[in-house]
Amino acid sequence: MWSRNLVSVSFRKPFEKSRGAFPQIFRRLSKISLASFHPTSVTDNELTSLAPVPQPTSLPTPSCLSLIDSYHNDLFNNSTGRWLYNEEKELASRYQYFDVEQLKHAACDALGSQKCLKLNKIAEGSYNKVFRMYFEDGRTAIARIPSSNLLGNASMITASEVATMEFMRLHDGLIVPLIYAYSKEPSNPVRSPYIIMEDIKGAPMLDDWYELRGDPVRAALFTFANDVKRMNIPVFSQIGSIYFKEDLSLDLQRRPLFLKDDYYDASTIENFRPAVDRFRVGPISDRLWWRTMHDDVDADRGPWNNIADMLLAAIHLEESAILKYKAAPALLSLTRTISLQNLTLVEELLKKAALLAPSISLALQGHRFAGERLAHNVAVHADLSSNNIMVPRDDGTNTVDRFKRLTYIDWQGTSVLPSVLQSDIPALVQYNGNVFKIPADFRKDVPWPEGMDQLGEAEQEIIRAQHRLATRERAYRGALWPKLAPFAATHSHCIYPWITQLPTRILRGVADGPILLRECLINFCQTWDAEECHGPCPISFTNEEIVAHVKELNAHQQYEYNRDQIIGALDADMDGWVSNENYERAQMIVKATREQWDETYCGGPFPLEDGRWSFFLT
């Protein structure tokens, strides 16, 4: 029988304002039982800006796979967990068949081995399934199969990922797995795109990152900052993604790869000389541009000459998606737009974004000390999180040295973008807590809050852990600021961070609803005019529109906060996925919280029901 004592959930009121006493701050971090679960409401004057939201996807359930029981093969299906709602659609979108024996043959041919003894699935996510292959001669390799339904165009995305990895290996000191074989064609003998690559020995940095102290952390941060700096060189001629030259049209093959050589030293020019004849910039491979409702074959996905052209292409792609939703309005239930009336609001906001786009290019160019470099197009890994960085295991002799050479895996979706869009703080070093504020002057230490001596030892350790994470972000900022001019220029520009949010807000305008896109555009307007960014802002909102928006945003944040309480109690991801071991317990919690849920007070319908919003299905 279900007991409330089975679960605890971290709560942090998003709108509660600090009253100055440190214990008040700590209580917002503490864990309380589900018995204390109470939905919260907020007042209209407590407006807070939302953090950038993730990125997209979906596909209808194939008729041949309409029953969950038909997903019987663990190799093809996501098998490590269950979904608490929309399960049939979530499973169908991730199901990926491939010919196991043909994959083994392809790997043996690539490695020159006689026989592949076994193939074990070692990881699975929404976009890929990862297998370790064991060969008769004792060697191993990694095979990765993309989830074609969720990616939208697995062929293009695979082709770009392989080319990007090969390109990155030209960097002096940047470590990337060696690719043994690949195919971008779904019609190959394996019957799916695939990549077979080097099996990196070691462990993800995630295994150690939150426990590390002292010299290993300093070594890791130094190496990581230098590697990010390497990725910001060289400068490409266009916005898009990297491909092998032969994978692109003749028109794109004729275009230059790099902008010019003026910015590089002799060794850099020499390192990338082989790239000139092998690679080109082609359409953007970020799945945000290819997912369901955005999968028009002839849509403009680049390459583009400037950020304005890119933003206008994003707007046109989202407008095309709106037409599809109008033709099939029932699909809106999976989005946060929900109604045709809200769909009209998204259309109006996209028109404002189209007016803003050309001025953004001019505003970036006019930056006082690095304007031109903000528009430089560079290729930086799309997800620099602790799970995508491999380090050797600690053998007792390499405690510090193992962090001096980091290996970067999972380059899927890496794009060539203007520096201003590549300068966010990477997930590895990003501090997401609410106890500390990172000093604007990176030379200053993160200050300790008052009242530490009022806390117990366990509570103090939680605060010390948060302080360590905040200090890592400050150290990363300090390492890059003097070394990378576009990074410093971006973080001091009047339209940062709104510019980094805008492409996602546009391309998920329907999926995430009009509120977040409007919030981004209002912040653009207010910051633009307050700091005289580049003449008057080309778009505006009336006071009445802003007041109405604040009220709507507060209601949205109230609903999302209450939804997040449930997700936290379930130990689930944002789409309601839980591990197999946790599934029955989670079902009981969902049943109990559904009974407590009040639609009026909580701000909307119970979120964990079939047909409700799903990040990956939109």
Q: What share of the chain is helix, strand, coil (3-state, %, to 5)?
A: 45, 10, 45
On whether the CB atoms of residues 355 and 538 are closer than 8 A, the answer is yes
| pLDDT per residue as tens digits for the range 5-48 | 334 333 233 333 332 222 222 222 222 233 333 444 433 333 33
The reply to whether 173 falls in a domain is yes
In a domain, 152, yes or no: yes
pTM check: above 0.75: yes
Query: What burial letters (b/e) apply to 520-539, b meaning 16+ CB within 10 Å?
Result: bbbbbbebbeeeebbeebbb
- Dihedral pair phi/psi, residue 198, rounded to 5°: -60, 140
Structure confidence at residue 94 as a pLDDT band (50, 70, 90): very high
Q: Is-contact 506 355, C-beta < 8 A?
A: no
Burial of 77 (0-12, 13-18, 19+ CB in 10 A): buried
- With pLDDT > 70 as the criterion, what percentage of the chain qualifies? 86
Domain-located, residue 150: yes
Q: Is residue 110 part of a domain?
A: yes
Which pLDDT belongs to residue 362?
85
Q: Which residues contact 543 (CB under 8 A, 6 or more apart)?
A: none
Q: Three-state DSSP class for 390?
A: strand
Instruction: Tell me which amino acid residue 332 is.
Output: L
Q: Which own/partner pairs from 184-189 qualify as long-range (CB within 8 Å, at least 24 positions apart)?
A: 184/154, 184/155, 184/156, 184/158, 184/159, 184/247, 185/155, 186/148, 186/154, 186/155, 189/99, 189/102, 189/105, 189/106
- Domain-located, residue 19: no
Residue 168 domain boundaries: 96-199
- Residue 110 sits in a domain of what CATH number? 3.30.200.20
Asked if the structure places residue 141 within a domain, the reply is yes
Residue 129 within a domain: yes
Query: Which bin fits 513, alpha (ψ -120 to 50), beta or left (φ > 0)?
Result: left
- For the residues 476-494, what does the mean pLDDT come to? 85
> Range with the lowest mean pLDDT among 226-230, 303-307, 485-489, 507-511?
485-489
Q: How many domains does the chain have?
A: 1
| Mean of per-residue pLDDT scores for the chain | 86
| C-alpha span between 66 and 546 (Å, rounded) | 45
Q: Would you state the structure tokens that stand for residue 210, as one six-digit string? A: 């939150």
Task: Specify if 142 maps to a domain.
Answer: yes
Q: Please state the rounded mean pLDDT for residues 333-343.
A: 93
Kindly report, residue by residue over 384-441, the tens digit of the pLDDT: 999 999 999 999 899 999 999 999 999 999 999 999 999 999 999 999 888 898 888 8
d(CA 320, CA 328): 13
